[in-house]
Structure formats: C-alpha cells, structure tokens
Homo-oligomer: A and B are copies of this chain.
Amino acid sequence: MAPVFKQITIIGVGLIGGSIARAALEKGAAVEVVLFDGNADALTRAGEIGFGKPVASIEDAVRDADAVFHCVPVGAMGATAKASIGAMKSGAILTDVGSVKGNVAREFRGLGRDDVHVIPGHPIAGTEKSGPDAGFASLFEGRWCILTPDAGASAAYVEATDRLAAFWTALGSNVERMDAQRHDLVLAVTSHLPHLIAYNIVATAHDMENVTDGEVVKFSAAGFRDFTRIAASDPIMWRDVFLNNREAVLEVLGRFDDDLTALRKAIRNGDGQKLFDVFTHARGIRREIIDAGQDTAVPNFGRDMDGKK
C-alpha cells in the first residue's frame, strides 16, 4: 500500500504505542516511525526491539512528524502535548489513544496551536500487559478505533481526519467517528465500570484471605480468575481514566449499585423468580457479543482447551 504518512511520532512506547509503531511499519502505513518516551529505559528498550527510531528530545521527536500519537496515561497527555506542540509543523495531526476523550480534547485544544489538527482517538484494543515488550503488530486487527473530531470544522481538518482514519484502517481497525461526550459514556459502561468492578472484587477477595487462608487463589478457577485478568491492567492508566471520566463513571456506577441492591434483596427474600429472570437475560447479551464478532464462542475463552476435547 501507499504509506498514509511519511513520518509519525509515537510519544510513549508501551503496549499501545509500541503496537502502533510495529503495525505502521509492518503494514507500510508510515515510511518512518520516530519514538519518544519520558522513561529513558523504556525508550532504550524500544530501540533495541527496533520498532522505530528513538529520539531523546520530545521536541526533536515531533519536529518532522505528519502525525503525533500521544500514547501515555490520560493524566499525562496534557503535559506531553504541551511540551511538544510548539515544535510541531503547521498542518500536522495531534492525536492520542486515551480511554477518555472529553478531557483530553479540551487540554489539547487549549494549547493554542490552531494550525495543528487536534483529532482525539481511541483504539478499542489492548491486553492486560504493559511496557514496550507487550506490543504486537496485529493488536488492532478487526478492532474498533473511535475518532472524536470537531464538528463543523475546516476542509483541511476534515481531510486530516480522513487521513488519520485511513491510517487506522491500514492497521486493520474499523474506524468509527463519535462525539467525545458520547464516547465517554459508552466507554464508562463497556470498559471503565467493568475495570472498576474487577479491581474492587479482587480487593474484596484479598481482604478475605485472612478468613479464607489462601484458598481464593487456590480455587480461583471457579470464576474469580476471569476478573483478575482485567484487574491486572496498568494501575496508572486506570487511575487516570477514573479521575478524568468521573461524571460518567459515577453515573453508571450509581445504576450498577441500584441493580445490585435489587439482586441482594432477591437473595435475602429468597425470590428465585427475580434471580432467574436477571440471569436468563444475561445469556442473550453474550450471544449478541459473539454474533457481533467481539468475542470467541469457545468455552472458557478456549484457555483450558489445549489439546482437549
């Protein structure tokens, strides 16, 4: 394919940044990938792995980029953008991969470079791993990437958005455009609440280990282990998500809590019909997710099936 960009710069060489760099080179979506990371060890490691050219100064790293991808925790986006935006060339794209879009967009747009195209983005992809070694080129294949561009912007901005969309498409993603506020509500339901609940249940189980004497880990395959996977995700990234999408998360959490109160009441009152109705309904949603190609239909995600059945 013809490259979408001559040069892209990745700020932050963790799971997502590293995967974008690998994918861009492997698919030929960019001619050159420049890397920067505030953590010198991570940057050195990225250079060793060889998925781009490490540059030690953030300003030098962005200077010739057609598109700069900030792949750092949401709470650090403002600082990395501020430190580098002055060095960006006119007409370049400033984008990111954060799980919260409203706050990040406001920060980027408040930096006063009207000649730089601010187009926030969020690839719905990842694993529970982090760091430069965690990335891989196929991470975005068949996954959604949401862009939250300005409404009613200039022709040049629209053209830049189309180019960024073409880049993600080249990486194998299905691109969706969405209002930032809507993104933040939808993701609060599909991602932020599940992670919070997973972290919470792991914390509760751990606190109970003084009663259960190490047996939570021993018998975790009974269901608990599913929660620990997403609760193993990067703590700084997730801290920042909750601090920056507070309103939507608290709204969704309130609804979760109301529903849980109703289930608890059903258990206390021995209301089997209520429990049965709620549980039956859940199966249908699983079916929809599998039919939508968003998960595998294999039992236990296939993880227990090595050489079995």
* In the complex, chain B residues whose CB is within 8 Å of the CB of A87: none
Separation of A246 and B143 alpha carbons in the complex (Å): 41
**Contact, CB under 8 Å: A267 / B289:** no
| Residue of A224, A235, A296 contacting most chain B CB atoms (<10 Å) | A224
**Contact, CB under 8 Å: B238 / A279:** yes
Instruction: Verify if A129 is at the interface (C-beta below 8 Å from B).
Output: yes
Instruction: Verify if A90 is at the interface (C-beta below 8 Å from B).
Output: no
B193, B267, B303: the one within 8 Å of A249 (CB): B267
Q: Mark A208-229, 1 if CB is under 8 A from B, else 0.
A: 1001100111111111111111
B200, B212, B278, B282: the one within 8 Å of A228 (CB): B282
Instruction: Verify if A7 is at the interface (C-beta below 8 Å from B).
Output: no
Tell me, rounded to whole Å, the shortest Cβ–Cβ distance linking A9 to chain B.
25
Separation of A233 and B281 alpha carbons in the complex (Å): 11
**Contact, CB under 8 Å: A193 / B201:** yes
Q: How many copies does the complex hold?
A: 2
Tell me, rounded to whole Å, the shortest Cβ–Cβ distance linking A235 to chain B.
4
Separation of A55 and B194 alpha carbons in the complex (Å): 46
**Residues in A132-185 with C-beta less than 8 Å from chain B:** 134, 136, 138, 141, 143-144, 146, 185
State which of A35-43, A63-71, A104-112, A257-265 sits at the interface with chain B: A257-265
* In the complex, chain B residues whose CB is within 8 Å of the CB of A267: 242-243, 246, 249-250, 253
Instruction: Verify if A101 is at the interface (C-beta below 8 Å from B).
Output: no
**Contact, CB under 8 Å: B263 / A196:** yes
Q: Mark A192-205, 1 if CB is under 8 A from B, else 0.
A: 11111111111111
Separation of A240 and B267 alpha carbons in the complex (Å): 10
* In the complex, chain B residues whose CB is within 8 Å of the CB of A189: 204-205, 208, 212, 216, 224
Separation of A282 and B233 alpha carbons in the complex (Å): 9
Separation of A195 and B211 alpha carbons in the complex (Å): 20
A-B contact pairs, 12 of them (CB 8 A): A128-B299, A191-B219, A194-B224, A194-B227, A195-B223, A200-B259, A202-B285, A204-B256, A219-B294, A223-B230, A229-B286, A231-B286
Would you list the 9 A-B pairs with minimal beta carbon distance, nearest first? A127-B299, A191-B222, A235-B279, A232-B286, A231-B282, A194-B223, A301-B301, A138-B308, A202-B282
